[in-house]
Structures are given as structure tokens and as C-alpha cells.
Amino acid sequence: MRRIVLSWILCIVLSIQVVNGWLTANNARSPLLSILVVSTCCVSRLHGYLTYLALRMPLKGTRPPPGSPWPMPKEWNPTSDLVTFDPDNFRFSSNLMNCDIVIQAIERYTPILFGYKGVKKAAGLSPLTELKMTISSNKCDQYPRMAMDESYELSVGDTAELTANQVWGMLRGLETFSQLIFYQDGQIFMNKTRIIDGPRFSYRGLHTDTARHYIPLPILKKNLDAMSYNKFNVFHWHIVDDQSFPFVSKTFPELSKKGAYTNKHVYKPEDVADIIEYARVRGIRVIPEFDTPGHTHSWGKAFPELLTPCYANGVPGTPIWGKYAAYENFDVTKEFVYEFLGKFFAEVKEVFHDEYIHMGMDEAYYRCWQSNPDITAFMQERRIEGNYSKLEQYYAERTLGIISDLGRKYVIWQDPVENGAKVRDDTVVMVWKGGNTAHEDHWNSYMEKIAPRGYNTILASCWYLNYIKYPPDWEALYTCDPQDFNGSQAEKDRVLGGETCMWSEYVDGTNILPRYWPRASSVAERLWSPKIVKNTTDAMYRIDQQRCRMVRRGIPAEPILDGYCGDYDWGFGDVDTPEVDKPPTCTGGFRLEGRITLLVLPLLIVFVL
């Protein structure tokens, strides 16, 4: 009889080790469960363990179960029932197994799911043997688009099925599937789950400036990986600026020869094609930005006639430092400028496949134009003397006309519209002022001025990640909502989404990834998940899980608070190897109670015997 009772005690204790990750994660402590929790140590890898900043300041919120997805799905119905996997006997199937996007997705996610050394199926559970992926369109789309369908449904029970209308939804669902897996003592688990999901906003962008500092290709690719792990779908490539012109143009090769920092700090045609392809198979659009008429000093190194000579004391090309340089802004009165741009953007159209090109148009400061007598004469001829917003409008109309004639659409920064210029009705306006920038008004006031004019908008103001705040600012990033402004429902419906921005004055390949992540993850959930998902205290634990998940996948994501990432962390000798021979490490917040196991369990055994 004693043996039977002892067997039951041992069975209960070991069983609790499987489910205790869920219970302790949610602080589930009924009077009965509290006895059981005291007598066991939670060894489930939660992919993140946060602890207090100070002993007197305990953490709040609800700890999530292991394998919690980020961003939060539209509908997530997990159960406490577990399934397992046999890494050597699991396969993916699809009705589009001849589609390169599907094939490469399987190749990427197989090591993510099962590539950690020493993982194995859990004893006592029948393993899932297949994930069946069905794309109802039966079409292998080539390039992601603004109107792509990223919705999916995922069901994990005795079988696992992922259904999506398009391949892009399959990619998002496969990422979610990979996040549901968790490991315990080297064994693989997943809770039986049903998910119905799709994005709240169609535009979820991440901006990278590669002109102020050159960002090497491997870093850009690693960032695209991280974007896919967080369901971002637009890489806004701010590829050139005043400081350098790293884009190698076949039509005008002198631009990079004279405008790049060196002949090594360039993106050759094959490099650009490589990035576009790398992004494409991850469901990420690549929208290039060639900012004009301002931010164009690097263009003028090869073609000085593009720029406006600034005057001082009647002498052209003379700076007044602090006011303007010797040459600034395109000289928008010259026909040569538009002939040049027509040829240049004809090449851009062939290189980049997205239907949109970002045309910049921010910070075209007027002082240099005001100093130039030729520009003054031009404005007098058109009866717009003194109204430089009309000059800006003249440039915008002509330049956007070039892009339209090439069969492309356009995004611009807010500045021309804010200055009173009337741009084309189909222009997408990106609002960047009023967040972390040093502008007086709050971002929502800018949205309230621009939205009534009928343009589709994208919000970037809240999410300038090059600005750093202490303590960690992910909560402020998380709570900003692009529709939180006073406007009609129609105006809010014209908000296409939002974008994080990283200007590279103080970042390069050494620090750009930890500067992005997991701060950008908070924006990812805001743009993907339903508006009602906004509890920062609960999100804190899930974003930490996501941060540790990215660390395990090779992304150097910075921590959000004290703690550690299970039995692995950045810089460990072999982060891919679960330490199955190591004594269990308590996570989920019950480190003291885990140590009590060593005392309580022997006492129970002695009592029974």
C-alpha cells in the first residue's frame, strides 16, 4: 500500500512539473494547489524569467504560459492538454509544395523548431507527425503587396492544421506555430490550441537609415529575420541622404563613386537584389526612400548642378553657417532636375518591385532658396513670390507625376502637406512629428490636421527608436495607438498602419540590432493585435518571452528588466543546447519554493514508508 501511495506522490510531483509552468506563470495558487506548488520546482522553459528591479518592488501582472505567441493573435484558445513532437519523424505538408516561399519557409522553420541539440519527444504522449498547411488560393504569390492577405487559422490537437487564404498568411501562421513550442528537460511540448488570426493594420513597417552609417548586408538580413519573427511586413529602406550615397546606380554610377563613404560602403545591384529576395520569401515588402529635394548633398558630389547655390553678400555657393551651407536642396526651377529624376526613377522602378516608392520631401528648408536670386525670379514669373510652400508644391506635383507615369505609387513625409502644399490625392502621407522629436505639438494634432484632407496616412511619430529613454521605454511605444486622435471614423479608417524609425547618427552594425529589439516588438503587437490588447503589465512577461525567443534565434535583443532567459543566454558557449543534464532551474517566480522541494519530498517519502 505504501508503495502505491509513494508512486502516486511521485507521479503527482512529476506531473506538476509539466503543467506548473502554466500554473506558476499565471500565479494560480488555490489553497490546494499551493501545497502542490510548494513541493515542486517549475523547470519549464518559459523563454524568459523577469525578476524585480528592487526587492521592495515586486512585479505585477500575470505571467503567461510557456509558448505564448507574440504579437497576440486575434483569437487564441489554448488548453492545458499537451502534445509532443518527434524531431526525426515530423513533416510539413502543403498543397503548394512547389512554391518557393513554402519550400524556403519549411527549410527555415525546421531548425527553429527542432534544431536545438538534445531535444526529444516527451515520454507518455503520442507525438504529432505533421503540420498540414493549406493555402486556399492555391496560388504561389511572388511579391508581397499592400493588399496581401496575412490572415490564417491554426489548430493543434491530435493533428495540426494551418490554413490561410494566401502564402503570406501561411508565413504568419507558421511563425505563430513555432512560438507555441516550449521545452522542458529536453522534451518538446505544445499545448493543444486553436488560433484565428489576422493583422489589424496592413502597413507594419520598420525603417532603417543606411546613409549616416552604412549597415552591412548580414546585419540587414538579421534584422529582416527579426522582423519576420514579429510579423512586420515593410522594410522602409532609407538608403541615401546628405551624408552618403551608397546605392549603386547603373544609370548614374558616379552617384555612389563620389557620394558613398568608400567603394566598400555601397550596395551593389546584386546586394539590393539579395535583400529584396531575402525579404520577399519572408513576406516583407521593401520600399526604398530617395529623399528629395532636401537631404541631397551626396547627390551633388557627382552632379553639383542638381543643387541650389546659396548666396551670401551676392556671392553664389557661399555658406552662412548655422543658416545654410554653400549648396542645399535641389534647384527645383531647373528642367535638368526633372530630366535627371525621370531617368533615375525609371531605374529604381526596375530594381525595386514594390508598387510604392518613398519620395521623402521632409525638411526642405527654405532659407537657401530664399537667398538665391534665380529662384526668386522664377517665383515672380509664376506669381508665387514669397510663397515657398507653393514652390515646394510645384516640385511635388512634377516629381510625383514622374513616379505616377512610371506606374508606381508614392509615400511622402508630412512636411509639404503641413506647409500647405496640395499633393496628389493618392499620396500616402507619413506623419513623423510630435513624438520623440523636438517639435512643439503632439503627434495627434498633426494627424488631426492632415487626416481631414483625405490622404491615407501612416504614423511614425511615436516610434523613433533612435531616441533612448531610461527606464526602458517599450511601454510608451506599446501604448501609442495610430488611431488615437480626434477625427471621424472615415479618417481613422484611412490610417494604413505605423512604422518604427531608426536614424543612424549613433548606430551602425555594432549596436543597431539591440537598439531595435525588443523595443520594435512592442510596436509589432500594437500594429498587429486587436486594439483591446493593451495591458502593459501582462505584456511585459510576454515581450520578455519574445525577447528571449529572439536571443535563442540569434538576435541580440536587449533585456527589458532584470532576469535571464531560461538555461541559455547571449554569449553562452552553445546557446542551442538545452542543458538536460543540469538540475532543474526554477522559473516563473517560485525560486524559493523550488528549493523547498528538496526538503518536502523526502519528508513525504519518509512519512509514507
Return d(Cα 173, Cα 156) in angstroms, integer. Answer: 12
Return d(Cα 549, Cα 383) in angstroms, integer. Answer: 61
Q: What residues have CB less than 8 Å from 579, skipping those under 6 apart?
A: 567, 568
Annotated catalytic residue, options 363, 392, 491, 499: 363
Grid cell, residue 454, equals: 483625405
3-state DSSP helix/strand/coil % of the chain, to nearest 5: 40, 20, 45
Grid cell, residue 384, equals: 508665387
**Is the omega angle on the peptide bond into residue 144 within 30 degrees of 0, that is, cis?**
no
Q: Exposed, middle or buried: residue 273 (CB in 10 Å: 0-12, 13-18, 19+)? A: middle
Grid cell, residue 401, equals: 507625376
Q: What angle do CA 175, 223, 110 make, to 5 degrees?
A: 35
Grid cell, residue 482, equals: 495610430
Residue ranges of E strands in 461-580: 495-502, 563-564
Q: What angle do CA 335, 341, 344 make, to 5 degrees?
A: 145
Cα 474 to its chain centre, rounded Å, is 13
Q: Which of 187, 185, 189 is nearest to 579 (CA)?
A: 185
Residue ranges of E strands in 488-542: 495-502
Instruction: Identify the DSSP state of 44.
Output: B
Burial 586-602 (b: 16+ CB within 10 A, else e): bbbbbeebbeebeeebe
Return d(Cα 264, Cα 249) in angstroms, integer. Answer: 15
363 as an active site residue: the answer is yes
Residue ranges of E strands in 242-395: 285-292, 307-309, 311-312, 315-316, 327-330, 356-360
Kindly report the number of other CB atoms within 10 A of residue 262's CB atom. Answer: 9
Angstrom CA distances, 438 to 106, 443, 461, stand at: 45, 11, 11
Q: Which of 174, 159, 197, 156 is nearest to 106 (CA)?
A: 174
Return d(Cα 477, Cα 497) in angstroms, integer. Answer: 14
- State the catalytic residues: 363
